Amino acid sequence: GAVVSQHPSRVICKSGTSVKIECRSLDFQATTMFWYRQFPKQSLMLMATSNEGSKATYEQGVEKDKFLINHASLTLSTLTVTSAHPEDSSFYICSAKGYSRYNEQFFGPGTRLTVL
């Protein structure tokens, strides 16, 4: 149980294009989903928190107009990187939290974004 998927696992795009990443909780309802970013040889940094049906809360320094988050249902959240640039190249990982013991977050496998 508690499986989270992400799609795509890897994407390469040209500078200026937009990329959408999906995060799905497969066997539980996710009341909250989190989006993290990991640059090479760095740790994970929280970008934003999204609750189903409401606007995402962004961490300081994360541009909400550039990283659009939609949490339309209890099993799906999407992150859209708009007008991507090479500096947006990173590993994006989502996690989902439902009504589990200890409010544990379950992580997706991540999406490797490369912007040329």
Partner 1 sequence: KQEVTQIPAALSVPEGENLVLNCSFTDSAIYNLQWFRQDPGKGLTSLLLIQSSQREQTSGRLNASLDKSSGRSTLYIAASQPGDSATYLCAETSGGGADGLTFGKGTHLIIQP
Would residue 72 be called left, alpha or beta, if left means φ above 0 and alpha means ψ between -120 and 50 degrees? alpha
Q: Which is nearer to partner 1, 83 or 115 (CB)?
A: 115
Stretch that binds partner 1, among 21-29, 36-44, 64-72, 74-82 (CB under 8 A): 36-44
Q: How would you classify the pairing of strands 10-13 and 111-115?
A: parallel
Q: Which is nearer to partner 1, 45 or 116 (CB)?
A: 45
Tell me how far CA of residue 49 lies from CA of 8, 10, 108, in angstroms.
20, 22, 15
What's the min distance (Å) between Cβ of 108 and partner 1? 6
Question: Helix or strand or coil: residue 80?
Answer: strand
| Residue ranges that bind partner 1, judged by CB under 8 A | 32, 34, 36, 42-46, 49, 59, 93, 95, 97, 102-110, 112
